[in-house]
Amino acid sequence: MSVARGRLRLEPWGVDYLGSVQDASGFAADPDEELGGALAPGALEAELPLEAWRPLTAAAPAPVSRVLFLDGVRRVEARLLLEDEAPAFGALGSCAVAAVACRLSDGGGSAAFVDEPLVERWCALGGGRSDHPDVLVTAAGGGQPIRYRTAASPDPDVDAPVRLLQAKMRDAERALAARLLPGLDDGLLLCDGPRPLLGDDPRVLGYLKTVQAQRLPPVALEVVRGLEQGQRSPLYVVGEGEHARFEWYVRLRDPRPWLHTLAGSVRLQGHAGAEPERQLAWMRAVADWSCEALPRFATRAHQDPRAPQQLLPVRALEQTLRRRLGSAPLLRRRLIAALADGAPAAGGAPASGRPPAAGGAAAGAVPEGSEAQ
């Protein structure tokens, strides 16, 4: 599919989101971003020679009995300024992570929590300020206080604390994924976002809704632009050594004529390692499974502003996780009261875990805060 120069096309995502195509400046940028640039021809020929690249359909899908969807949400609840001889920017924020399982034998129509969602709360400070005590937000009437554990970023800029909160969420997702692997059996673990660095397990996949740093050369990108619903690109390899991984694109839904040519596309990641050829047969089967199965989970525009890349089980999971973060206005009032009385120091409250009920000492974002997935 060739792209006419100067042609304006719509971005299908809602205007409250950056879009499905963006630069690599977002907080969820790939961990291998430093590789940058276009890939070498050899990396693009893991499955097919570059001159033979073409849209592929499912030929021999992997026999997957169930799929676990893992995701997290992050919420910035207040921006801070630590007033000192060397002032530091900060942010209070919470994150929640969980996974749901869909059994494919029944069509994948229902999803169930694999474990209770985990909630963590952080006071992120820039400029390496790790000496500040944890922050407690107490509840009126003697309810359970909320502890925000202090974490420090060495970077002094105003957005460093928010990047640190994003990293804390990714750490929690990676820890949950590691706990789920022993019971995965013949299932797949689909992680919303980059594939976690979890060794060489070929059942762990990354699922990226956005196109950020574009590494494909024009001839390969044209193949991706020309994918139809249920088709995928050939596999290619990103990175080197034990952290190298396979990547491929899948078209979840055909774009309307008024949308850009990458609309409805997602990028998936699987382990390749130092010897990608040893994993190639399995990963090809997984890629075939993905282009056959994932379009069934794709949302529509009336269901989610990030349709179709936002999958139905992930959408429901994120809604539940946001509720687990608690009441935003309630925390706002308690935070103001706490700061008016003097910043509370660390005490005996739990640092993280299950959130209190919304009517109790719930923690949440201030109305003008931000969210990220």
Task: Dump pLDDT digits (tens) for 293-307.
Answer: 999 999 998 998 888
pLDDT of residue 13: 67
Distance between CA atoms of residues 2 and 16, nearest Å: 29
Cα–Cα distances (Å) from 107 to 57, 254, 293, 339, 371, in that order, read 20, 22, 10, 51, 31
Pairing assessment for the beta strands 370-372 and 66-82 based on DSSP bridges: antiparallel
Mean pLDDT per 10-residue section of the chain, whose length is 373 residues? 63 58 44 53 92 96 95 94 90 96 77 91 93 83 83 95 96 96 94 90 93 82 95 95 93 83 92 94 98 94 89 95 90 82 52 40 32 46
pLDDT of residue 234: 98
pLDDT of residue 349: 41
Question: CB within 8 A of 55, min separation 6: which ones?
Answer: 223, 226, 227, 228, 231, 232, 233
- Token pair belonging to 181: 């692997």
* Segment 36-40 long-range contacts (CB within 8 Å, at least 24 positions apart): 36/213, 36/215, 37/215, 38/215, 38/216, 38/217, 39/215, 39/216, 39/217, 39/236, 39/237, 39/238
Can you give the pTM of this predicted structure?
0.84
pLDDT of residue 341: 75
